[in-house]
Amino acid sequence: MQLLRALGFFHVNMLLLSATLGTGIFVTPKGALKYSSLNIPVFLSIWAGCGMLAIMNALCLAEMAATYPVSGASYYFLRRTLGSSVAFLSVWIKLFSHFSGIGSLCLLIASSLIQCFYYGCPAPELATKCLALAVLWSVGILNARGIKTVAWFNTISSFIKLSVLCLISLTGIVLLVIGKKENVSRFENALDAELPNVSQIADAILQVYYSYLGSSILIILAGEIKRPTETIPKTLIYGLCFVTVLYLLTNISYLTVLTSTEIISSDSVGVTWMNRVFPSIQWIISLLISAVLLDSASCGIASASRVFYSASQGGQLPLIYSMLNDHHSPVIAVIQIVILSSVAIISSNIIYLVKYVSLGAWCLNVLHMIALLKLRYQNPDLPRPYKVWLPFIFGSIASSLFLIFTPVIQSPSVQHVYQVVFLFCGLLCYWFQANLNRHAVCFDTITCYCQLLFNVSPSEDQEKLIPSLNPA
């Protein structure tokens, strides 16, 4: 039993679009424009710059996936280069970012669907949460059917998503070409706006970069991609360039239809735009927005379950998480992610902690780049089917450190202390699980019962599938 390499170039591109084009483009323009001091040229420059930064960081990670083409490649790479404690810390950060992000996605899907029945007044909280749970478990069942089913579902959803964003982009272009006074006037005095300070620019980048975070899914699913050494770099370059252009056109369309004040006062800029341009078809808008977000939740569960799978094979999570069902899916890991996301949905409304999820991603990015440099120094002769340009690695480290420390230096707050405490809690949990593994014999019976209950089998060790570790 092992995870199947079932994803070709086409499905990999669709997965990248599914994971990247999510809530970010509908939610983050609000925070990004606010931190840009309502300066439109700076706002659009940050979106373009973050796209280039995402491509640079993704290509650095692509070297890891090409060298070790296994599921959860980023975790596996950290464990081999920087040790088990750092690898566990990456799982700790990803655990909370994944289940809180998936929970917030399902809540947004549910609120978009149910709001059309409560026009003019807020929808009941209980009904929204029940619908969010139904959406979450439906997507979880889909993931339990294997990566092929997820890929086909995301392909269909991606075409719907692209249709919605192309509609927004083309409508904005048409309105600019027509040249109505109220549309063009918003760009006439754009250069006269106030310039943001360094701390505000860093906060705006953290907001915008959240919209590009989904590109890491290809690194996590490297063990299920056909010809990963060729497919992953090509997909990241072409796909992220396309996403960057689409994001720029979508934001220009937002600015064409809405004022800056309307954008920063909107909880979902995409919905506000749709209501302004097509006010008579609100229920269709709700369905489209929900379809746009549904495949992002599916990608989130697939990505998180593979992190659990890899950590389980590394001995840092129970063995049951790396066992596969008849559809070659780590179904126990999928169920665990769905349960944790359900707790997140039930416990609160989950405010979008975009800034802090992005900050955790930048911390992990520094660790990945340090690990990449260490491996190049210690193993210069290791076969590398794809090798990123060295200045990209140093550029990625510099940009990450700038975004991590600039907000702390410019505007320190108690929230930064909470973030440090959160990281120390991860190290404490690592020590706990390391000691627990020494006395884990009593859990073998529980594992056997779970194996029978869910009809799962142990998977083959991923190291046997890595050419560089097993030369012919």
The 3-state DSSP class for residue 341 equals: helix
Q: Residues 249, 175: contact at Cβ < 8 Å?
A: no
Q: What is the pLDDT of residue 40?
A: 87
Q: Do 93 and 365 form a contact (C-beta atoms < 8 A)?
A: no
How does DSSP assign 424-458, residue by residue?
A: HHHHHHHHHHHHHGGGGGGGHHHHHHHHHHHT-BP
d(CA 453, CA 94): 28
What's the full length of the chain, in residues? 472
Give CA–CA dist 128/290, Å, rounded: 13
Identify the pLDDT of residue 297: 87
Cβ–Cβ < 8 Å for 265, 254: no
Assign a CATH topology to domain 9-465. Answer: Amino acid/polyamine transporter I (1.20.1740)
Phi-psi region of 265 (alpha: psi -120 to 50; beta: other; left: phi over 0): alpha
Element (H, E) at 415: helix 414-436
Q: Where are the alpha helices (DSSP H) in 179-277?
A: 181-188, 198-209, 217-220, 228-257, 260-264, 269-277
Give domain limits for the chain.
Answer: 9-465
Q: Which two structure tokens, joined as six digits, stand for 23?
A: 């809530």
Tracing tokens 């272009």 back to the chain, one arrives at 173
pLDDT value for 460: 78
Q: Which long-range contacts (CB under 8 A, 24 or more apart) does 281-285 make?
A: 282/116, 282/119, 283/116
Q: Is 26:268 a contact under the CB 8 Å cutoff? A: yes
In this predicted structure, what is the pLDDT of residue 144? 92
What gap in Å lies between CA 222 and CA 6, rounded to an integer? 11
Single pTM value for the model: 0.86
Enumerate residue ranges in the chain where pLDDT < 70: 115-116, 119-120, 179-192, 282, 285-286, 348-360, 415-416, 418-419, 422-423, 426, 433-443, 462-472
pLDDT of 442 reads: 64
Inter-residue contact 355 to 206 (CB < 8 Å) = yes
pLDDT of residue 61: 87
**Structure confidence at residue 358 (pLDDT):** 58
